[in-house]
Structure 1
Amino acid sequence: MKAVFYNIKKHLVILKMFTKNYLISQMEYKCSFFTYLIVETIVLLSKLLYVGVTYNTGITVNGLKPEEILLFNGTFFIVSGVYGGFFMLNFSNFRTKVKNGDLDLLMVKPVSLQFMCTLSTVEFAVLIPNVGTGIVMVCYVWNVCQLQVSVFNILGYLFLILCGIVIVYNILFLPQLLSFKLIETNSLFKITSSLSNFNMMPMHIYPEIMKRIGIFIFPIFVVTNFPSMFILGKLNIWYVLWSPVAAILLTVLVRLLWKKSVKGYSSAMN
């Protein structure tokens, strides 16, 4: 157990170093960074227009008022911002590393190879606007709907978001493992990345069979729906327990498939 905590601490220190160094490198090309930030903000504004139209229509979804639906939207922006900031670019670059044999140098380092491949860069231009907007929306709904502000609610919400981030990481990284077998996986990457958009609205708008699949088989609805429902008091205890269980099961599955894929990897030096 002591070794586990030591490894976690070591990798957190390395992540901090990666984040600092990548931020410094981005600041060396400020024009490029701020251009990317502006583009990402424009994309975010286009999503907010959709949210605004939905809000102004005054529709209700399974008893959820427009203000409460905003909570789902805000949570979606937070999680998608974390995914876009920490994982998306790394996932995109991963298949290139496999194709070009760039994994060779990473494999000899005394650090988790999966960690090096999926958390080596941080896109602040994606992280800042999306997470910032999501937090503002969640705080707005919390105030307007007069939701109880308590340590239990805040910690529960953050815990379920953490579980959601782990789930979305595993779900969207799983198809990338095909890079070890297939030459081109760009189309698959785009398709799987778009799956997260299902979480922008409450899962109640989908048919019952689709909800079951999205909770228990392909738990994409667990990512942002569960934290929002928890705050609104609409999440039963079994779903609360299922969130960390799903995160753990997916992590174990992806880890096993990762190890199997790496064993079959042929390096640039064969």
Structure 2
Amino acid sequence: MKTLKKYFSLYLALFRTSFIADLEYRVNFLTRIATDIFWYLAQIITFEVLFRHTPKIGDWNLEQMRVFLGVMFVVDGLYMIILSENLDQFSEKVRKGDLDLLLAKPVNSQFILSLQKASTAMIGNLMLGTAWFIYSLVQLPDFEWLRLLWLLVLIPCGLIALYAMRFVMASTAVIFARSENLQFIWYQIYRLGMRPDSIYVPWFKWFILTALPVGVIASVPARALLEPPNFLLFAWVVVLSGLLIYLSNKFWKFALKFYSSASS
């Protein structure tokens, strides 16, 4: 418990420092918000146009698809705030020798690498995504608001699974001096999770919920709101998140065996 409190306090300090640093560049702060707004609009417009030609895509109608997009925006906003900048710059830290300094700090190296910098500009995007999410739920007839309690478990588990997969992919930069192509592959994999799993054929749907579980990021939380509870699926997501975070730590320790200091 003391260790968790220590790391939580450390993260709050890092977050506060990041916020102060981001405010020094206000134009960049606002530009990053505007950029993601256009991304949100692109996703919304894409599905709005598609539903002009069909009443359903996969198992969901337009109102249900809007809920999925709301969940996706919230999860993506949290990921961008907490993790994205740190993991996207992983390769640069390795090449420039910044990893040496982080490994020398008296704190868990995976923790500091993953949470050193928060993208506080994305808080505005998270607020917009949450607003769309609430709007989409209001449009549903007879929505059971108690279902939102499922998100207290499923969204954190989805974020953990997303983080673990992304961290493993980023960690390959320690083994291979340049791993940009692998990072590009990651972005294509991530895009699979940004679409509802019901649009895929059954075998591929199984694949993105188990072997390459990007489907648990947004599709499973959305299903918890839109469909009868699938307790077996929800339990799998909880177990999966714990398994993936454990494996990511094992892979990180394995990758460090290949690391030679930038100064060597």
TM-score bucket of the superposed structures, by smaller chain = over 0.9
**In the alignment, is residue 241 of structure 1 matched against residue 196 of structure 2?**
no
**In the alignment, is residue 48 of structure 1 matched against residue 21 of structure 2?**
no
Aligned residue in 1 for 2:96 = 100
Point out the more displaced range, 50-59 or 141-150. Answer: 50-59
Whole-angstrom CA distance in 1 between matches of 2:70 and 2:35: 20
Aligned residue in 1 for 2:168 = 174
Given candidates 118, 121, 139, the residue that maps to 1:144 is 139
Whole-angstrom CA distance in 1 between matches of 2:54 and 2:12: 43
Q: CA deviation at 1:7?
A: 1.6
| Structure 1 unaligned regions, length at least 5 | none
Sequence identity of aligned pairs in percent?
Answer: 25
Query: What is the TM-score normalised by the length of structure 1?
Result: 0.90
Aligned residue in 2 for 1:264 = 258
Aligned residue in 1 for 2:119 = 123
SS in 2 for 1:59: coil
Given candidates 186, 189, 206, the residue that maps to 2:200 is 206
Q: CA deviation at 1:99?
A: 1.8
Whole-angstrom CA distance in 1 between matches of 2:52 and 2:194: 16
Whole-angstrom CA distance in 2 between matches of 1:256 and 1:124: 30
Contact 1:40 1:125 in 2 (8 A): no
Whole-angstrom CA distance in 2 between matches of 1:102 and 1:15: 19
Moved over 6 A (4+): none
Whole-angstrom CA distance in 2 between matches of 1:80 and 1:156: 18
Q: CA deviation at 1:205?
A: 0.9
Given candidates 22, 25, 32, the residue that maps to 1:26 is 22
| Structure 2 unaligned regions, length at least 5 | none
Whole-angstrom CA distance in 2 between matches of 1:262 and 1:182: 11
Whole-angstrom CA distance in 1 between matches of 2:229 and 2:124: 29
Contact 1:100 1:268 in 2 (8 A): yes
Question: RMSD across aligned C-alpha pairs, in angstroms?
Answer: 1.8
Query: What is the TM-score normalised by the length of structure 2?
Result: 0.92
Paired amino acid for 2:250 = L
Given candidates 109, 115, 137, the residue that maps to 2:105 is 109
**Number of residues paired by the alignment?**
263
SS in 1 for 2:217: coil
